[in-house]
Amino acid sequence: MTKLSVNINKIATLRNSRGGDVPNVLQVAKDIESFGAEGITVHPRPDERHIRYQDVRDLSPQVTTEFNIEGNPIKQFVDLVLENKPTQVTLVPDAEDAITSSAGWDTVKYKDFLTEVIQEFKTNGIRTSIFVDPNPKMVEAAQFTGADRVEFYTEAFAEKYSQGNKNGILPYVECAKIAQEVGLGINAGHDLSLENIKFFKDNIPGLLEVSIGHALIAESLYQGLEVVINKYLSYLK
């Protein structure tokens, strides 16, 4: 059984575009949970272009499923996570001006840094996961940071799959084996969608959790559009 954690960054993007409170991020998170999702993921970025630090504070006491906070562990992020004590923190090495996450950690080069931050989170009872490319060397070295899990960066798989190339799964299969051998739990995310999720899940043994945002929100828009348009039409008759 793989848990679905819904990334609600895009809900915050929509809200921020008008400066008001529609849609209400907290209410959407509660609804997502009531529809059966097993977790809520947020990825506050330093410019707060979508999820704001205050959203994290508001969500933290209200999320009743697994709360996963993702981000680059700069001081203000570490403080935010420690203040809110989510179920899981996922460390992502993204640049401040990154449009979205675009690479996993170099777990060899940043071993000491990651070990230190992870230790602090674990001491505070927070499960830790580190975002990694499907690179055997990086997954192997992740065990020495003390992380509980790795999150496979699935963009490369998703891109190949959308072009009809199913071989993009192979590095992930190899890395999943390594992760299991060295005792790391397996999460995955980035560009997973209704199109590719079943194939990914069926090929990755021990997949504990996926976090999905961009495609899931776009798919929800498409699948909800007809219902909503028909409601408007009925009121306009």
Ligand X SMILES: CC(=O)[C@@H](O)[C@H](O)COP(=O)(O)O
Q: Which of 189, 192, 200, 217 binds ligand X (CB under 6 A)?
A: 189
DSSP 95: -
Whether 209 is a known active-site residue: answer no
Is 219 designated active site? no
191 annotated as belonging to a binding site for a ligand: yes
Residue 65 contact among ligand X, ligand LD2JLWAY, none, beta carbon within 5 to 8 Å by kind = none
Other beta carbons within 10 Å of 205? 11
57 is in an annotated binding site: no
Q: Which of residues 152-181 bind ligand X (CB under 6 A)?
A: none
Which of 70, 96, 150, 198 is the binder for ligand LD2JLWAY (CB under 6 A)?
70
CB 203 within 8 A of CB 169: yes
Length of the chain: 237
User: How far apart, in whole angstroms, are the C-alpha atoms of residue 15 and residue 25?
Assistant: 8
Position among 5, 6, 7, 118 found at the interface with ligand X (CB under 6 A): 7
Look at the block and give the residue holding tokens 């960054």: 9
> What SS3 class is residue 5?
strand
| H helix and E strand count, the chain | 10, 8
Catalytic (active-site) positions: 43, 70, 190
Where do contacts with ligand X occur on this chain (CB under 6 A)?
7, 9, 43, 45, 70, 92, 100-101, 131, 189-190, 213
